[in-house]
């Protein structure tokens, strides 16, 4: 268990970039000076011109900086965002489904995502946009019932967090409910006119927070890119990406890269999914895989029950249609591959049928709004070059709302409908009965509601056990890359920790083999590279390396073959004069600063 209870460290390109942002912000600046020899430090998702900075939006980095400022550990910022997200989701659900069911939803989110998932145990993000989405959607729902400055305050906070984390997905998430709320406020209630002075006064906190957030984001952009309207993300796309983020956008002009590794990443690794998905056949297959990954992460087997079972509890055609759709999806999932185009197309067709079916089963206004919003966000993401579960995070609370609403329907269901005065109850009466104001009769399935969080907790324990045993393979689920135990990133973190303990500044040239996995990147640095204690640089050949060596003559210089089974440090002078030798230094060696020969 001690292996799991530890501080996470970066593994993916995105995580290293977020770590750089957090370390930069904690120094009370948003960027570092440009580098004199940038080709040695050129890497992914990081800007080198006109300044040295992360390309990402600042919300996730701000939480990392907060954790580092308070405790010296960026992981504390990740855990803080997880705790706040759970609290915000509970707060949001309590106005959508009631405080008891909202508390149940918060517990499910805590078990599924906040304890052991890649959202809470990596620097990749997910919890921060989920926090923003929950605050915004909870505030929207409260403003529907009560125009108050407190709700306006939380709405503005949620919108700023979304703008600073995932602005596109956040905008799509809040757009439908914004239109609905504006229509609700504009429409007269009876013969009374809307109290517009009160509405404007209540909206003032939201407008002030939004104005402050827009100003801060504009200042952040200007400090890095030189323009208030151009984000670091857009500048990085302009300087590095030949393929745009969405497949319907045109391909960009050819670019020149600083090293073969960087060139391969952008011309092959990034270009391949863009060109592939522009072909209709491959778009259909990749869309099916994206939907499967989305369902695996946000729903899975256990939380499929509250979304599917209510359809079986409805009498008539809906019950049989739900059974047919479920059987078809399960059957077709066995044929899900990059070559089964027909099967993938049928899966997408039945997914559409399932979405429509959910609109009949969850037939109230708010449920249908949640279904439509989730479908809209996911539809847009199907056209993205890449899609990871945290892209959908701004709308995640709506999926969790539907799952809790499904559990509520299961709890309130019984085999004998209660009638009043010999007739069927009205919808209002049924809702009152569902809240426990009338005595239930007949068989019920309340045990399913009780068993759901218990089953999620058992699955969590099982996943942790499998990760400890080294037998867990979860490429699409919640714990996909959370706290890996035996990985190249562990070797890199151990080496970097050892290098930081040395008394003299360190320089490590990184050399890759021809079959290098482009996703395993070692060349990431701290802010102000030229004055950092440890400097990672690309090995560009003995002659070219002299440019950097002349700039930092006081450093202890090493070379590492990052693709070897157990990467270890070799004195640079030995590495350029003879083949690789077994005279290596491993982290933790007693020979701290002595020559390993």
CA distance 245 to 27: 31
The answer on 455 and 313 residing in a single domain is yes
Residues 334 and 455 grouped into a single domain: yes
Domain that holds residue 286: 276-462
Domains contained in the chain, number: 3
Do 525 and 457 share a domain, yes or no? Answer: no
- Give CA 380 to chain center in angstroms: 16
124 belongs to a structural domain: no
Same domain, 351 and 427: yes
**Are 123 and 389 in contact, with CB atoms under 8 Å apart?**
no
Using CA atoms of 522, 523, 529, 534 in order, give the dihedral in degrees to the nearest 10.
Answer: 30
Domain termination residue (choose one: 462, 496, 517): 462
**425 and 297 in one domain?**
yes
Q: 3-state class of 189 per DSSP? A: strand
Q: Which of 223, 255, 275 is the last residue of a domain?
A: 275
From 252, 275, 298, the end of a domain falls on 275
H or E stretch including 570? strand 569-571
Does 564 fall in a domain? Answer: yes
pLDDT at site 193: 55
Report the pLDDT value the prediction gives residue 183, as an integer from 0 to 100. 84
pLDDT beneath 70, residues of the chain: 1-5, 188-198, 336-339, 415-443, 470-476, 577-597
500 falls within a domain: yes
Same domain? For 267 and 329 the reply is no
Task: Find out whether 362 and 407 touch, Cβ atoms under 8 Å.
Answer: no
In-domain check, residue 220: no
Q: Give CA angle at 236 (520, 379), nearest 5°.
A: 85
Q: What is the pLDDT of residue 423?
A: 46
Radius of gyration for the alpha carbons in the chain, expressed in angstroms and rounded = 27
Looking at residue 5, its pLDDT comes to 65
Q: What phi, psi does 345 have (nearest 5°)?
A: -65, -40
Around Cβ 323, how many Cβ atoms within 10 Å?
13
What integer pLDDT is reported at residue 428 of this predicted model? 52
Looking at the structure, tell me whether residues 283 and 259 fall in a common domain.
Answer: no
The verdict on residue 443 lying in a domain is yes
Helix intervals (H) in 470-571: 488-500, 542-551
Q: Which of 193, 183, 199, 110 is nearest to 149 (CA)?
A: 199
Pair (324, 452) in one structural domain? yes
Do 333 and 405 lie in a common domain? Answer: yes
Whole-angstrom distance, CA of residue 594 vs CA of residue 342: 64
448 & 363 share domain: yes
444 and 363 within one domain:
yes
Pair 434, 312 in one domain? yes
Residue linked to tokens 């069927």:
424
- On whether residue 179 sits in a domain, the answer given is no
Whether residue 79 lies inside any domain: the answer is: no
How many beta carbons lie within 10 A of that of residue 180, not counting itself? 15
Model-level pTM greater than 0.85?
yes
538 located within any domain:
yes
């Amino acid at each position: 268990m001690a292996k799991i209870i530890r501080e996470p460290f970066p593994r993916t390109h995105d995580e290293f970039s977020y770590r750089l942002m957090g370390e930069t912000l904690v120094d009370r600046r948003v960027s570092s000076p440009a580098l004199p020899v940038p080709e040695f430090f050129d890497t992914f998702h990081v800007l080198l011109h006109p300044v040295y900075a992360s390309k990402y939006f600042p919300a996730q980095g701000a939480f990392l900086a907060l954790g580092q400022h308070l405790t010296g550990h960026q992981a504390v910022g990740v855990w803080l965002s997880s705790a706040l997200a759970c609290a915000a989701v509970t707060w949001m659900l309590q106005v959508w489904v009631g405080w008891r069911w909202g508390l149940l939803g918060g517990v499910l989110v805590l078990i599924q995502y906040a304890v052991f998932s890649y959202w809470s145990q990596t620097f990749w993000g997910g919890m921060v946009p989920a926090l923003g989405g929950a605050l915004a959607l909870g505030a929207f729902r409260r403003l529907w019932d009560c125009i108050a400055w407190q709700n306006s305050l939380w709405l503005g906070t949620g919108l700023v967090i979304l703008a600073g984390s995932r602005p596109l997905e956040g905008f799509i998430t809040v757009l439908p409910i914004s239109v609905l709320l504006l229509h609700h406020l504009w429409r007269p209630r009876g013969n009374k006119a809307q109290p517009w002075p009160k509405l404007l006064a209540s909206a003032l906190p939201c407008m002030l927070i939004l104005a402050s957030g827009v100003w801060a984001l504009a200042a952040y952009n200007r400090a890095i890119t030189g323009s208030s309207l151009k984000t670091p993300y857009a500048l990085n796309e302009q300087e590095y990406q030949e393929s745009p983020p969405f497949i319907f956008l045109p391909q960009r002009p050819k670019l020149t890269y600083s090293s073969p590794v960087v060139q391969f990443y952008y011309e092959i690794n990034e270009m391949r999914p863009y060109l592939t998905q522009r072909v209709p056949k491959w778009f259909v297959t990749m869309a099916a895989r994206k939907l499967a990954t989305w369902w695996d992460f946000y729903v899975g087997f256990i939380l499929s029950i509250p979304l599917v079972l209510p359809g079986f509890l409805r009498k008539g055609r809906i019950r049989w249609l739900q059974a047919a759709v479920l059987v078809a999806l399960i059957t077709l999932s066995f044929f899900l591959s990059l070559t089964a185009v027909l099967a993938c197309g049928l899966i997408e067709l039945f997914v559409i049928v399932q979405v429509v079916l959910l609109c009949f089963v969850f037939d109230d206004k708010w449920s249908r709004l949640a279904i439509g919003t989730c479908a809209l966000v996911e539809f847009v993401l199907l056209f993205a070059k890449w899609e990871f579960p945290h892209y959908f995070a701004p709308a995640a609370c709506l999926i969790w709302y539907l799952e809790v609403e499904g559990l509520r329907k299961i709890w309130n269901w019984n085999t004998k409908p209660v009638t009043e005065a010999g007739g069927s109850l009205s919808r209002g009466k049924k809702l009152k009965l569902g809240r426990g104001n009338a005595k239930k009769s007949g068989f019920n399935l309340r045990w399913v509601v009780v068993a759901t969080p218990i089953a999620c907790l058992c699955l969590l324990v099982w996943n942790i056990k499998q990760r400890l045993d080294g037998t867990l393979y979860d490429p699409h689920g919640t714990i996909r890359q959370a706290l890996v135990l035996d990985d190249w990133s562990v070797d890199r973190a151990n080496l970097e920790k050892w290098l930081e303990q040395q008394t003299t500044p360190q320089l490590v040239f990184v050399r890759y083999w021809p079959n290098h996995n482009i996703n395993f990147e070692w060349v990431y640095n701290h802010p102000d590279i030229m004055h950092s204690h440890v400097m990672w640089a690309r090995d560009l050949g003995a002659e070219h390396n002299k440019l950097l060596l002349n700039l930092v003559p006081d450093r202890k210089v090493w070379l590492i073959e990052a693709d070897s089974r157990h990467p270890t440090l070799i004195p640079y002078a030995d590495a350029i004069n003879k083949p690789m030798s077994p005279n290596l230094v491993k982290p933790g060696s007693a020979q701290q600063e002595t020559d390993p020969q």
